A and B are shown apart, each in its own frame.
Chain A
Amino acid sequence: MTRQVVIVDYGVGNLQSVARAIVGVGAEPIFATTPEQVEVASIMVVPGVGAFGSCTAALHSHGLREAVLAVIASGRPTLGICVGMQMLLDESEEFGTHAGLGLIAGKVRSIPSTGADGEPHKIPHIGWSGLQPNQVDWQGTIFEDTEPGDACYFVHSFAANPINPSEVLATCDYDGRVICAAVQKDNLVGVQFHPEKSGKVGLRILSRFVNAR
């Protein structure tokens, strides 16, 4: 049977690209706009585009925060993308301080405005960057068939800074600054980049998430 993937639709950004990519890996995307629709998810994707504060506020105002937390707490596979990944952390410093879901210990902070050499570099960090493993072996993860150095598409000005290095699944390098590219804690995975915009590499990652198990 075709696997169904629930995409949490809390009114921010355009979710069509994520849905098309889910179709592209052979699964069926279902948009969930109510807690009831979220709660029945067997596989869940939490996208997020724009500012952290407006994303968390929208998740809350649509009454979806508790339902999302319940799905995660029950152990069902969940993938946060971009701000959807950042929301898994404790808090963000983007335009003031905003509380996140507190599932991954750490803060979301602005990307340093210079490289390691002190030279200014471009913000937002837009474009393709190679993924590197951190402390966790990629075997058995969404990166099982990703090679170190395979590039994915990023677009962000803020980045996650998890406290526990064992929860950092992948990083990328921006002029000598290490940027958290993916997090994992049990059934919960988050990616800063956009797998739905990262060509074959992105589809392979998404396919692993959707079709593993």
Chain B
Amino acid sequence: MTLKTRLIPCLDVMGGRVVKGVQFVDLRDAGDPVEAAIAYDAAGADELTFLDITASHEGRDTIFDVVARTAEHCFMPVTVGGGVRTIEDIRKLLLAGADKVAINSAAVNDPDFISRAADKFGNQCIVVSVDAKQRLSQTVGGDNRSEWEIFTHGGRKPSGLDAVEFAVRMVERGAGELLVTSMDRDGTKSGFDLALTRAISDAVEVPVIASGGVGTLQDLVDGVKEGHASAVLAASIFHFGTFTIPQAKAYLRDHGVAVRMDAPAAA
């Protein structure tokens, strides 16, 4: 028996509701986040991720409330990302009940922020979101650059940074985990970008969570076996009832991936 692959439903939260878009547009309402969290917990999810995609500052406070209410009901690890820019943001999320925070734009703009955050709260709670897109062919350099570039601001802003180099640098700064999202695949149901996931996972010592593009249960298996991910994250297939968490876990188990099956009921 060994460490089990984590299956992580991701809840994109805007204005206190779960939403899910296709490549960050065309958002569909998918319900109350706390109710969804409780249902995923009961179904055997191994961890939960909330991504706060609220654009306005006024809307920000709703995520603290969502996290606090979730933590009262769900005794499982919770990661929160989106708009995390300051040490104070992290402190507030942890106090609300988050176990880890996922940091994206702030990590790109100020890598030293990751060092400060890891020193303050420990590497175990600092997840860096690596949001990567395949480079346009004409911009692929001849040097050692990988095929992928880091994007920020919900995938709208190219940073010019090489995705694999960035990932390695973030781990040196103290990231305890990386959430690797393919912006090309996000919401498309065409599967993870396995080459991207594997390139980053093989380059770093810390666990990689594969994200972006799950459409079938085989995609989850591929993320682990071919992408070398330690955890697999998905949103749409669960929110819209295409598959349940137990179905996904049974499929992973039947295809040779060790997962946590639901614990027997209390004696």
Contact = CB atoms under 8 A, between A and B. Distances in A.
Interface centre among A13, A14, A197 (most CB of B within 10 A): A14
Contacts, number: 109
Given A20-B72, A128-B4, A197 B77 contact: yes
B75 A126 contact: no
Nearest to A202: B75
A174 B2 CA distance: 5
A14 B94 contact: yes
Contacts of B76: 153, 197-199
Q: Specify the main secondary structure of chain B where it touches its partner.
A: loop
B97 A16 contact: yes
Interface string B1-12: 111111000000
Interface stretch (B21-29, B139-147, B185-193, B258-266): B258-266
A91 interface: no
Contacts of A172: 1
A173 interface: yes
Interface residues of A, number: 47
Given A17-B99, A113-B205, A132-B1, A203 B124 contact: no
A104 to B, nearest CB: 22
Nearest to B5: A127
B206 interface: yes
A138 to B, nearest CB: 13
Contacts of B177: 124, 126
B263 A153 contact: no
Given A147-B264, A155-B124, A199-B76, A127 B97 contact: no
Given A124-B206, A128-B260, A20 B3 contact: no
Given A129-B3, A197-B76, 6 more contacts: A17-B71, A122-B205, A126-B207, A129-B4, A153-B77, A197-B99
Interface of A: 13-14, 16-17, 20-21, 24, 49-51, 113, 120, 122-130, 132, 145, 147, 149-151, 153-157, 172-176, 194, 196-204
12 contacts: A13-B121, A17-B75, A49-B122, A49-B124, A113-B205, A126-B124, A126-B177, A128-B3, A129-B2, A147-B264, A157-B123, A199-B41
